């Protein structure tokens, strides 16, 4: 009965959606919970145990409940902390996977490359090199437009253009061999 009275008289905390700045605190909590130690988790994260403890304490204050039970010798996950951990670990794993996938893309050209070029350039310069280019850069999708008209590369969404002897708008001119 007393438990029910306390439960029903406890003021409810209204939480706003998770803010991006809270993600490090959630990740810190998860690391402490997994290691059952502030010292081990702090060493892995490269921060002091005190800073890590303050981060987790701020998260607990924000959500209005304890996630970890602490003693001078042990750290344990509360029931609410265990439920929270069970829900956030897959999300944290997904974030880790997303960052790993980005790391794999670093330095590897990917995506669509849109190029406008005259028909003559397409048949004499580009077409003979297409097979070699596609083998060297399989993650690039080429969108080549062979058209003899002078196009506004920016207005029409092209990444680059090849022109044979035509004059270019001054703001679009690029000089080869000068690092531009």
pLDDT tens digit string along 33-61? 999 999 999 999 999 999 999 999 999 99
Output the domain CATH number for residue 36. Answer: 1.10.10.10
Same-domain status, 33 and 97: yes
Is residue 31 classed as helix, strand or coil in its secondary structure? helix
Task: Decide: pTM greater than 0.85.
Answer: no
Confidence of residue 7 (pLDDT cuts 50, 70, 90): very low
Which residues, including other chains, have CB under 8 Å from residue 91's CB and lie 6 or more apart?
A: none
- Separation CA 60–CA 62 (nearest Å): 5
Q: In the listed set 66, 82, 104, which residue is the last one of a domain according to the structure?
A: 104
Same-domain status, 94 and 42: yes
Contact 90, 136 (CB under 8 A): no
Same-domain status, 45 and 117: no
Same-domain status, 146 and 87: no
In a domain, 125, yes or no: yes
In a domain, 179, yes or no: no
- Separation CA 27–CA 96 (nearest Å): 11
Same-domain status, 127 and 93: no
Same-domain status, 36 and 70: yes
Instruction: Count the domains in the chain.
Output: 2
> What is the extent of the structural domain holding 50?
19-104
Mean pLDDT value across residues 102-113? 84
Output the domain CATH number for residue 160. Answer: 3.40.190.10
In a domain, 45, yes or no: yes
Dihedral (CA of 131, 133, 139, 145) sign: negative
Same-domain status, 126 and 79: no
Contact 32, 41 (CB under 8 A): yes
More confident residue, 79 or 171: 79
In a domain, 43, yes or no: yes
Same-domain status, 131 and 93: no
| End-to-end CA separation in angstroms for the chain | 77
Same-domain status, 115 and 51: no
DSSP 56-117: HHHHHHHHTS-SEEE-SS-EEE-HHHHHHHHHHHHHHHHHHHHHHHHHHHTTS--EEEEEEE
């Amino acid at each position: 009965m007393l438990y029910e009275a306390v439960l029903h008289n406890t003021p409810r905390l209204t939480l706003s959606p998770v803010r991006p700045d809270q993600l490090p605190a959630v990740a810190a909590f998860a690391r402490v919970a997994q290691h059952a130690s502030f010292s081990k988790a702090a060493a892995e994260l490269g921060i002091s145990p005190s800073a890590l403890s303050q981060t987790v304490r701020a998260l607990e204050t924000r959500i209005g409940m304890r996630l970890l039970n602490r003693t001078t010798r042990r750290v344990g996950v509360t029931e609410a902390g265990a439920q929270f951990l069970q829900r956030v670990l897959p999300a944290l794993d997904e974030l880790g996977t997303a960052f790993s996938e980005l790391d794999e893309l670093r330095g590897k050209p990917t995506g669509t490359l849109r190029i406008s070029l005259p028909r003559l350039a397409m048949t004499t310069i580009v077409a003979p090199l297409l097979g070699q280019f596609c083998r060297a850069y399989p993650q690039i999708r080429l969108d080549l437009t062979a058209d003899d008209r002078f196009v506004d590369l920016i207005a029409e969404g092209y990444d680059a253009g090849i022109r044979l002897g035509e004059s270019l708008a001054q703001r679009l001119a690029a000089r080869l061999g000068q690092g531009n």
